[in-house]
Structure 1
């Protein structure tokens, strides 16, 4: 569950720190107080997009921190897979935004956005203000079915995707290979030329780097020779005061002095070693300089070889490995063209065999989907009845496409009838905004029982509802909160009254700046806030009594469910 939310310098938020609890956490406040900004900060922390004005005016950075506690095996395993530390089941996710750039960390370790999203998907499910509109698009229905059937479908889908891409690769090969006779002969001639040109070059891996280094040396041979001549002059014996000359004089001097003190023999041996090193150095330097004298012929050879390699790189690839790969692929394709009919027959046989695999897996996946869709549709219908769809009928229809994809050949459709005697129709043709919001809540409630995600956030799930329907929605949220942590932003008193923990979001101004604050309400304050939602600007004694009654009825409702 989400233990704590800390937000700093985010939009109109100066700094807020919220300790969240288990059960149903309700957030209310006046319109424009910044309720959705709180949810927006959570989305951003979990990898959401960053807007240009996200950093509070006058601040250098924005920061959002989310502290989770989870003993979910899938979460712990994912943390291990991503090589992230976890102690006592706590996961701290932070995202700091500075000048349009951001850094995300999990338990102090910097992570990529992909890793962040993988962890977030296991920790929290966020229902945004407009998420219910995704139900208007049929391409989303199959994902919902597969998510419900994931225990059975996941491995099949993975295998299907692998076999499908293998099939598309074979078909691509067939498309590239299928040509008329004239083109085939032209291809053979061109490939033979390519292979011959590259093979005759007799390239060696790493040769270009060696030649580049040698080219650099030989093209600067004169400068090197002149510089080494000066070094030789300093180190040799020809010049008075050079290293060799001075060491030679020192040897002669120590030879005379050793007769007076045996201890000087040690110094004598050291200087003899030094003289030997200088002599070896001068000899090697002389040989190296002598080799440079014939550099023109070597330079021309290296230059020609480099030009050849660069010419081949320009035609066939950036590296010698790329060029050699062209030979391998060319020889493979030549073999196919030399035995054209046999290759086509073999390739077609492979395609036929691969299509059988894809078809078999697609049929298996479709069977799994149909079985689970029947169960899912019944459970969604039950949840819809709980949400005041009294005469609802709901069905999931699977039809077959005339082609395969990585997800098989199924196409899903959600059908609903909300009035007696009315035929089943697609959601997009029947449901209003408020109905779509409730349908999404029904789907979420079904998945809450099945998924291991511990925290669900609902941002204005109450759109377009009131009265008895609002009461039913509040009861459903309270029911889900029995096994999951729920964080819900609402404008409705019926939902607010169900709160296990009630927070108010307020916008304050000092005439110069505006900022959003959040605080937890005690029971008296909660009743007053419910009264504000009920009564608006003027809160009478009767409104307060109604708010208190709603709170007591909510408590009774919870006790009856227990």
Structure 2
């Protein structure tokens, strides 16, 4: 359930906070007061697209924060699969949008990607925006609603179907690529043999390139290394007045007086250790210098070997490991070509087996879909009757594609008849705008009963309806709110009257600034807002009485 929404510096909102309750939460207000900004801010917090124009003018950033309570074990388990863990039963989702266009998403104070925000949001909330009902006109969306309804039983078979389809397409691709005539085969075999031989002749050893690069660096700076080593020897041990001689004299000087002062004895011991270490250093340096031998021939050999390896890297892979892996791949392909007919025959057999498995997966998915299509159609029809469709028939028609897809071979669409005696027709050929709104509401309420998502947001789902139909839509939303949290933006008083929690969005203007605010209404304030929605600018006693009666009638809907 969505507990709290906090918005700062977004469009007309300077800073606003609202605490939602269970049941039906209604948001109302004058046209242009900023109702859509509230839904927009929720969408932003849940990973939606950002436009810099959404920030308040001169603001450095905008912030949207949502606090959800997670009460269902299924929801909690799904969140844990995404490595999102509720803290004290709550999830805090926030998004900070900077004037530069950059945004930072966080869940429980941990920075996350927008993709993860959207995945988490899909488990917690379902938003039905303005004009979304028009998506019903595209039959490609109809199966999405069916699959969402049948998700519990369909999820595993669909995953298996997708996996098998990917395997099937992979085998088909290999078989298509294995369509070579004798001449092409010979060319391909010759080329593969050449490449394999080229790698084999190189006699590569893993780690060899790193050793060669180190040798190359040392050899390419050989003269400077020799000069520096010789200079170091001169200063340390070979030149007149060298460091070794001076340390030796210092040791003897301290040793001569150490018997007269214990402090000098300690100094003498330290310096003797230094002299010993320095002697070891000079001995090691002399050994290193004696072995220095940078011949032009050795340098050229290292350079040529490096050039060969780098040529192979450019051709076959960026590392020796990848070059050797590529050689193995080419050897396998060569073996296939040298036994071409056997390889094709094996692929064809594998493809037949894969297709048989894929066909079985498609049949399983289709059977499940058809079973749940009947349930979804019956429940949607009943919901439509509840929404003032006087005589309605609603079914789902199935067709079959002439090819496989990752979603099976089904082609589905909703069919409806809204008048007695009329045949069923495709939804897009029959439904008006107001009817589409009600059909979408019917589907949403039916789906909600089969889903773990607790919070539903309706943004003006009442468009195109009025009168008795509006009253029945209001009652349907109210009843859905008994088992789900509903947040509904509406301009209809019939729906607003049903509110368990009523919020007013107001816009105030001064000489240089316009601000939208949202505040909770008590019962009397809610009745005043209903009167405004009923009567417009002038609220008469009759309108106010009507608003009170409407609220009392709404109280009776249980």
Aligned to 1:335: 335
Aligned to 2:105: 104
The change in CA–CA distance for 1:403 and 1:85 in structure 2 (over 3 A counts) is closer
Is it true that 1:29 corresponds to 2:24 in the alignment?
no
| Residues 247-396 of structure 1 mapped to structure 2, 5 A cutoff | 247-257=247-257, 267-396=267-396
Q: Distance in 2 between matches of 1:490 and 1:314?
A: 64
CA contact (8 A) 2:12 2:34 kept: yes
**What is the CA-CA distance between 1:259 and the residue it aligns to?**
5.8
**What is the CA-CA distance between 1:146 and the residue it aligns to?**
1.3
Q: Distance in 1 between matches of 2:214 and 2:465?
A: 76
CA contact (8 A) 2:259 2:265 kept: no
Q: Distance in 2 between matches of 1:384 and 1:85?
A: 39
**What is the CA-CA distance between 1:374 and the residue it aligns to?**
0.7
Aligned to 1:421: 421
Aligned to 1:521: 521
Aligned to 2:171: 170
Aligned to 2:477: 477
**What is the CA-CA distance between 1:234 and the residue it aligns to?**
3.1
The change in CA–CA distance for 1:84 and 1:368 in structure 2 (over 3 A counts) is closer
Aligned to 1:81: 81
Q: Distance in 2 between matches of 1:292 and 1:513?
A: 80
Aligned to 1:147: 148
Aligned to 1:438: 438
- Greater mean deviation of Cα atoms: 427-436 or 61-70: 427-436
Aligned to 2:530: 530
| Residues 188-207 of structure 1 mapped to structure 2, 5 A cutoff | 188-207=189-208
What's the RMSD between the two structures over aligned residues?
Answer: 1.7
**What is the CA-CA distance between 1:253 and the residue it aligns to?**
2.8
Q: Distance in 1 between matches of 2:206 and 2:390?
A: 75
Q: Distance in 2 between matches of 1:86 and 1:245?
A: 73
Aligned to 2:122: 121
**What is the CA-CA distance between 1:247 and the residue it aligns to?**
1.5
**What is the CA-CA distance between 1:210 and the residue it aligns to?**
2.9
Aligned to 1:157: 158
Question: How many residues are matched?
Answer: 557
Q: Distance in 2 between matches of 1:149 and 1:443?
A: 13
- Greater mean deviation of Cα atoms: 531-540 or 388-397: 531-540
Aligned to 1:494: 494
Per the alignment, in what secondary structure is the counterpart of residue 487 of structure 1?
Answer: strand
Is it true that 1:411 corresponds to 2:411 in the alignment?
yes
| Residues 8-87 of structure 1 mapped to structure 2, 5 A cutoff | 8-87=8-87
**What is the CA-CA distance between 1:264 and the residue it aligns to?**
6.0
Aligned to 1:505: 505
CA contact (8 A) 1:9 1:61 kept: yes
TM (norm. structure 2) is 0.96
Gaps of 5+ in 2: none
CA contact (8 A) 2:70 2:86 kept: no
Q: Distance in 2 between matches of 1:75 and 1:110?
A: 21
- Greater mean deviation of Cα atoms: 44-53 or 66-75: 66-75
Q: Distance in 1 between matches of 2:469 and 2:209?
A: 76
The change in CA–CA distance for 1:100 and 1:262 in structure 2 (over 3 A counts) is closer
Q: Distance in 1 between matches of 2:270 and 2:27?
A: 86
CA contact (8 A) 2:75 2:452 kept: no
Aligned to 1:211: 212
Is it true that 1:238 corresponds to 2:239 in the alignment?
yes
**What is the CA-CA distance between 1:269 and the residue it aligns to?**
4.6
Q: Distance in 2 between matches of 1:75 and 1:203?
A: 54
Aligned to 1:93: 93
Gaps of 5+ in 1: none
